Chain A
Amino acid sequence: MAITEENPGYKWVGTRPIRPDGLEKVTGKARFGADLVLPGMLYGKVVRSPHAHARIVSIDTSAAESMEGVKAVITGADFPDLAANGAHPSDIDVANNAIARDKVLYEGHVVAAVAAITREQAEAAAKAVAVTYEVLPHVLTVDEAMADNAPLLHEAMITKGVDPAPEEPSNIASKILHERGDLDQGFGEADAVVEREFTTKPVHQGYIEPHAAVADANSDGRAHIWCSSQGHFQMRAYTATVLGVSPGTLKVTAAEIGGGFGGKTVIYLEPLAVRLSQRAGRPVKLVMDRDEVFRATGPTSGTRIKVKMGVSKDGKITAAEVWMAYEAGAYAGSPVGAAGMTAIACYDIPNFVVEGYDVVCNKPRVAAYRAPGAPMAAFAVESVLDELARNIEMDPIDIRLANAAVEGTQASYGPKFPRIGFVETLEAIKEHPNYTAELGPNQGRGVAAGFWFNAGMMSSATVHVNENGTATVVTGSPDIGGSRQSMALMAAEELGIPYESIKPVVADTETVGFNDVTGGSRVTLATGAAVVDACRLIVEDLRGRAAKTWDVEVDQVEWVDGQAQHVDGAQPPLSLNDLAAKSGRTGGPISANASLNSRGVGAGFSTQLCDVEVDPETGVTRVVRYLTAQDAGRAISPDYVEGQMQGGVVQGIGWALNEEYIHDTEGVMENPSFLDYRMPVASDLPMIDCAIVEVPNPAHPYGVRGVGEVGIVPPMAAVGNAIHDAVDVRMTELPMSPIKVLEALNENDG
C-alpha cells in the first residue's frame, strides 16, 4: 500500500477480517436469484425475436395457451401503452425493451412469455407461440447507422443537442460537445502531433449469475418480487412503470447477487413475471439461459473514436481533439456522455474539443458497465499519449505527470477538482519494482491512466442495538462488491464494538428507507455515510442514557471504546452491553435511522503498468506482469478494495485481448456462450499487483472515494501500449486478438 496519510488510529477501518457473507457462499447456502421455490410456483419462458429488425405483424398464442400445463401467455398487448399515455420517452423505452409492442429492434428482443407447471412445458409452449414478422433492413454499427439513408430504428428520432434541431429523423439520438480554448492555436504550439482512429466492439459485463426473478401477485393488485439486481428500489420503480402501477403496490426482495458490474441496474424479467403471475394466479419464476443473457442483456457500446493530440517538447499537451460515436443498441442512451466527460479528464489541457454521438442500432440495448463509456475513450486517448511520449522521447509516467490534473484544476467537463490523488497513483507506479523489472525477448511494457467520477446519490440506513450490545446494520444496497463488510467495519469503528458483533443486512423495499442502485462506486461512500450518521445518532442517544443514569449533563459523557465514560471518571463506565440491557428503563429500544443525499463525491484515478509477451509467429499476447495503482481515498476494507482493483483490471484485459460480440450478416449473435465469448480464465492472468493509494475524500467521514469502477478504464490502453513496446505494432482495434496482432505484424514485415 502506498499511504499518503497515516491511519489516524482506527481500530477496525482498514483491517482485513473474514467477510460476513463468506460462510453462506462457500457452503452453497446463499440464495441467489434462481434459488427461490414457492409452493405452487410456475416456470416461465420468454419468446424472443430471431430477427435484428422487424415489424410484428401478428402474434397467435392460441396453440400455446391450449397446451398441457400452460397457465398464462402474455404479449406486449398485455401491458399499458405508455406512448399512448404520454409517458416520458425514457420510460417508454424501458417498457418497449422489456417486451416489444410493434417492432423488434434486435435479435433476442422479447415478444411474448409463457408460464406453465413444468419448465419443459413452458419451453414447449414458448416454441408454439406463432409470431409473424415483416423483416426490415437492419444496422449493426455506428458506421451503418450513421450512413446516409440508413434504415431507421425509430422513425421520429430527431437528434438532441444540435442547434438548430435537424429536420430529418436519424439514428443519432444526441450529440455532446465540450470545448475550451483554441484548437488551431494549440496544435500550432505543438512539437509533435499524433492522430489515430480506434474501434471497439460491444462487450458484456459477463456476470456469472444469469438474470432471474420470481413474482407472486395477489388478487388485490399487490405483488412481491424476488430478484437478483443491483438495486431493488430501482427494480420496483421500473417494474411499476412498465406495469402502470404505483411503486407502493410492489415489494421487492433482493436476492444474493452473483455479479452485476452495472448490468443489473435495469429490468428485464420482473414485469413479465408479475404479469404472468397475475394471469395465472400463482407465483412464476423466470430464469435466463446464458445465451439469453448475451443476446438480450448488457452489453456496453461498440465505438468508433478519433483522437488528435499535440504536445510541446517538454511534454505539455497543447491541444486535444476527440470525436466519438457510441452504439446505444436499440434505444437511446449509450454512455457517450460520460465518455465525453472522462476522455481527457486526467489532464489539464488548455485547448480541446470533445464531440460525441449517441447512435442507435439493431443490437441489444446497452446497459451500464463499470465506469460506463470511459474505458473506450481512454483506450484511444491513452494510446495516442503513449505515441506522443515516444515521439518526444519522454518517459510515459513523466508525460502524464507533466499534464496531470491536481486540486484546483478546471476539469475538462466543468468543475474545479477538489483534492484528488492522480499524481500519487503515477508516483506509486514509478516507485514500484515492476517499473524497472527486466523484460525478456518479445516482451514489452505499457502505461495508461484513467479517471472516473464516482457517484453519490441517495441512501438510507437503520442501526438497531440488540439487547446484548450487538448491533444490526440495515441498508438497502445490494452487496455486489463487499459493502456489507465495509458497512460493518465503519459501524464497528463508530460504535466501538467488535466487527464480529455487527450483523450487516440488506433489507427489502418495505423494511428500510430508499436506496439508489449499487452502482457508480457509490455504496461505501453514500450508504456508508448513512451508516456512520445512524451510528452517531445511536452514540448520541447512548450518551444521553448514560447521563440520565448518572444524573449528569450529557456533555459530561464521552463515548470511548464502546462505553460511556464520565469525563472526570466520576462514574464507572457503562458499556454498550450495560446500556442495551437497561434500555427499557432509559427510553426504550436503541435504534436510529439516517437518510441522505450524498454530500460530495470523490473522483477516482488509476494508473496501471502492464507487461506482455507477444508470440511473433502466432500473434498471441500473454500478460506476464501487471500493476495497478488506484486512489481509494480510504480503504475501509483493503481486501475488497484490492478485489475491486484486480477485478476491473481482469475485465479490462478480457476486453483488450479477446472479448467481442460477433454478429452474422443477419444481425444474429454468433457467440452467445462463454466458449466463444472469450473472457479470460484464471490461467490467462498473472497475479494483479495492487498499490492502494489513499488521498482522503474530504466529503466522507473516513475519506472514502469509491473504488469499483476506475480500475477498468486504463487496461486496454495499457495492454495496447505494452504490445507496441514489445513488437512495434500500434493496435487501434479491440479486441487485440491473435488474428489482429498477427495481421499487424505481417503488415510491418511486408
Chain B
Amino acid sequence: MKYVAPSSVEEAASLLSSSPSAQVFAGATDVVPQIRAGRPAPDVLVDLKKIKELVALNSDGDKWTVGAATPTAYLTEDEAFSHEFPGLSEAAGLIGSDQIQNRSSLGGNLCNASPAADSVPAMVVNGVRAVVAGPNGTRVLDVSEVVTGPGQTALDDDEFIVEFEIDKMPSRSGDAYLRMIPRTEMDIAVVGAGARVTLADDGSIEQAVLALGAVAPTVVRIPDAEQALVGSTADEETLNAVAAAASEACDPIDDKRGTVEYRKQVAGVLAKRAVVIAIERAEQRNGTN
C-alpha cells in the first residue's frame, strides 16, 4: 500500500485515473479502521488534506463553500457558520469525539456512505451541493444524489468531491438535526432527523424540508410531512401528522443497534422535535442576520 499526498486537485485526479484501486481519504477516520478491520487495502491511498482548497471554509455574498476535507471542527467552531446553520453545525459536532472531529470531514462522512452518517440529513435539508472532480473536469451533484446505497455512491472510481456549496440561510429560516443514540456521545445514530423551515410573514410555515438518517439504505425525505407543515403553524395536530409521516417514510432494518419498530416510532418523535427547534430558530432569524 502506497501513500501519496497530492497538492492540487488535478494531481489527485490524475493519480486516481492512473491507478485503478486508488482510494482517496481525508481524515482517515473511516478508511484506516476499515482496513485494520480486514477490508482489502487499496494499492494507493490518496491523502486529500494537503490540497489547500479542500481544507477551507469560506463565505461570499451568496453562499458558503466548505472544502471536502475540511475538519468538521471548523463547522462547529466557526461562529458565523454555526450561527447561520446551527443544525448542520450540530450534526458535524456529533461525529465521533473531539479528536475525531479534528480529522473527520463532510466529504468523508458523505462518501463513506453509511446510512447513519450524521451530517448527511443535515446537508440534505439545507440543499447542499457537492462539486465533484474527475478526469474530465468537475460536475455538481445535490448531496441527496451522492449516496445510492450502503457503502455505494454515484461517484465514479476516478472521481472525488472537491467542495460543498451551501446557499446562505434566508431570513426567517432555521435548521435542526437530532439523533437518537443510547449514550450521549461516541456512538452511531439509531435514528437521525434533520429539518429546515422558512416562515412566512404571518408566522406560518412557507417551506419545510425534512430528512431522516439510519432508517433506510439512504437518507429519506418525508414529502408528506413537508406538505402537512406548509401553510400551518405546526400545531399539535400537524406535528402528530409529521410524526406519523416520518414513521411511515422509514424503511429500517432490525440490527444490533435498533429494531424496526423502535426506529419507526422514534423517527416520528425526532422529526417532530427537529421541526419545533427549526421553527424556534427561524423565528429568531428576522431580517438581516
> Quick check: B184 and A675 within 8 Å, CB to CB?
no
A617 and B269 in contact (CB under 8 A), knowing A675-B188, A678-B187, A739-B258?
yes
B151 at interface by CB-CB < 8 Å: no
> Quick check: A620 and B180 within 8 Å, CB to CB?
yes
Can you list 24 A-B contacts (CB < 8 A)? A617-B266, A617-B269, A618-B180, A618-B269, A618-B270, A620-B182, A622-B184, A657-B182, A662-B256, A670-B256, A675-B186, A675-B187, A675-B188, A676-B256, A678-B183, A678-B187, A683-B184, A684-B184, A737-B182, A738-B190, A738-B262, A742-B265, A742-B266, A743-B262
Nearest 5 A-B pairs (CB), nearest first? A683-B184, A617-B269, A739-B262, A662-B256, A670-B256
Contact of A658 among B183, B185, B265 (CB under 8 A): B183
A681 and B269 in contact (CB under 8 A), knowing A739-B259, A742-B262?
no
**Which residues from B are CB-within-8-Å of A671?**
256
Question: Which A-chain residue is minimally distant from B266 (CB atoms)?
Answer: A618
**Which residues from B are CB-within-8-Å of A738?**
180, 182, 190, 262, 266
A618 to B264, CA, bound (A): 11
B residues 264-278 near A (Cβ < 8 Å) are: 265-266, 269-270
> Quick check: B256 and A681 within 8 Å, CB to CB?
no
Interface SS of chain A: loop
B257 at interface by CB-CB < 8 Å: yes
Name the residue among B182, B190, B269, B270 with the largest chain A CB count within 10 angstroms: B182
**Which residues from A are CB-within-8-Å of B256?**
662, 670-671, 676
How far does the Cβ of A669 sit from chain B's closest Cβ, in whole Å? Answer: 10
How far does the Cβ of A619 sit from chain B's closest Cβ, in whole Å? Answer: 8
A151 at interface by CB-CB < 8 Å: no
How far does the Cβ of B88 sit from chain A's closest Cβ, in whole Å? Answer: 22
> Quick check: A676 and B182 within 8 Å, CB to CB?
no
A680 at interface by CB-CB < 8 Å: yes
- Against B, the Cβ 8 Å flags (1 = close, 0 = not) of A657-670 are 11000100000001
**Which residues from B are CB-within-8-Å of A742?**
262, 265-266
**Which residues from B are CB-within-8-Å of A737?**
182
> Quick check: A681 and B184 within 8 Å, CB to CB?
yes
**Which residues from A are CB-within-8-Å of B258?**
739
Question: Which B-chain residue is minimally distant from A680 (CB atoms)?
Answer: B183
A200 to B233, CA, bound (A): 46
How far does the Cβ of A203 sit from chain B's closest Cβ, in whole Å? Answer: 15
- Against B, the Cβ 8 Å flags (1 = close, 0 = not) of A614-627 are 00011110100000
Question: Which A-chain residue is minimally distant from B257 (CB atoms)?
Answer: A676
> Quick check: A678 and B185 within 8 Å, CB to CB?
no
**Which residues from A are CB-within-8-Å of B183?**
658, 678, 680-681, 683-684
A475 to B265, CA, bound (A): 57
A residues 679-737 near B (Cβ < 8 Å) are: 680-681, 683-684, 737
- Against A, the Cβ 8 Å flags (1 = close, 0 = not) of B209-232 are 000000000000000000000000
**Which residues from B are CB-within-8-Å of A620?**
180, 182
A743 to B262, CA, bound (A): 8
A444 to B246, CA, bound (A): 30
A617 to B240, CA, bound (A): 13
> Quick check: A681 and B262 within 8 Å, CB to CB?
no
A residues 636-669 near B (Cβ < 8 Å) are: 657-658, 662
A353 to B182, CA, bound (A): 38
> Quick check: B182 and A658 within 8 Å, CB to CB?
yes
**Which residues from B are CB-within-8-Å of A739?**
258-259, 262
**Which residues from A are CB-within-8-Å of B182?**
620, 657-658, 678, 737-738
Starting from the known contacts A675-B188, A681-B184, A681-B185, 8 additional A-B residue pairs (CB-CB under 8 Å) come to A658-B182, A675-B187, A680-B183, A683-B184, A683-B185, A738-B262, A739-B262, A742-B266
How far does the Cβ of B189 sit from chain A's closest Cβ, in whole Å? Answer: 12
A553 to B188, CA, bound (A): 75
A714 to B150, CA, bound (A): 42
How far does the Cβ of A361 sit from chain B's closest Cβ, in whole Å? Answer: 20
How far does the Cβ of A685 sit from chain B's closest Cβ, in whole Å? Answer: 9
A743 to B186, CA, bound (A): 25
**Which residues from B are CB-within-8-Å of A681?**
183-186
A684 to B183, CA, bound (A): 6
A746 to B182, CA, bound (A): 18
How far does the Cβ of A676 sit from chain B's closest Cβ, in whole Å? Answer: 6
A738 to B180, CA, bound (A): 10
How far does the Cβ of A231 sit from chain B's closest Cβ, in whole Å? Answer: 32
Question: Which B-chain residue is minimally distant from A737 (CB atoms)?
Answer: B182
B residues 249-289 near A (Cβ < 8 Å) are: 256-259, 261-262, 265-266, 269-270
**Which residues from B are CB-within-8-Å of A743?**
261-262
How far does the Cβ of B277 sit from chain A's closest Cβ, in whole Å? Answer: 15
A617 to B180, CA, bound (A): 11
How far does the Cβ of B46 sit from chain A's closest Cβ, in whole Å? Answer: 23
A332 to B221, CA, bound (A): 53
A670 to B256, CA, bound (A): 7
**Which residues from A are CB-within-8-Å of B270?**
618
Question: Which A-chain residue is minimally distant from B184 (CB atoms)?
Answer: A683
A743 to B266, CA, bound (A): 12
How far does the Cβ of B92 sit from chain A's closest Cβ, in whole Å? Answer: 18
A680 to B262, CA, bound (A): 21
A671 to B262, CA, bound (A): 19
**Which residues from B are CB-within-8-Å of A746?**
265
A738 to B190, CA, bound (A): 11
**Which residues from A are CB-within-8-Å of B185?**
681, 683
Question: Which B-chain residue is minimally distant from A679 (CB atoms)?
Answer: B183
A618 to B269, CA, bound (A): 7
How far does the Cβ of B268 sit from chain A's closest Cβ, in whole Å? Answer: 9
Question: Which A-chain residue is minimally distant from B269 (CB atoms)?
Answer: A617
How far does the Cβ of B217 sit from chain A's closest Cβ, in whole Å? Answer: 20
A658 to B258, CA, bound (A): 12
How far does the Cβ of B188 sit from chain A's closest Cβ, in whole Å? Answer: 7
**Which residues from A are CB-within-8-Å of B180?**
618, 620, 738
A743 to B256, CA, bound (A): 16
**Which residues from A are CB-within-8-Å of B188?**
675
Question: Which B-chain residue is minimally distant from A738 (CB atoms)?
Answer: B182
A678 to B259, CA, bound (A): 16
**Which residues from B are CB-within-8-Å of A618?**
180, 266, 269-270
How far does the Cβ of A255 sit from chain B's closest Cβ, in whole Å? Answer: 24
**Which residues from B are CB-within-8-Å of A684?**
183-184
**Which residues from B are CB-within-8-Å of A657?**
182
How far does the Cβ of B162 sit from chain A's closest Cβ, in whole Å? Answer: 30
A145 to B116, CA, bound (A): 37
A239 to B270, CA, bound (A): 54
How far does the Cβ of B271 sit from chain A's closest Cβ, in whole Å? Answer: 12
How far does the Cβ of A88 sit from chain B's closest Cβ, in whole Å? Answer: 39
B residues 111-151 near A (Cβ < 8 Å) are: none
**Which residues from B are CB-within-8-Å of A619?**
262
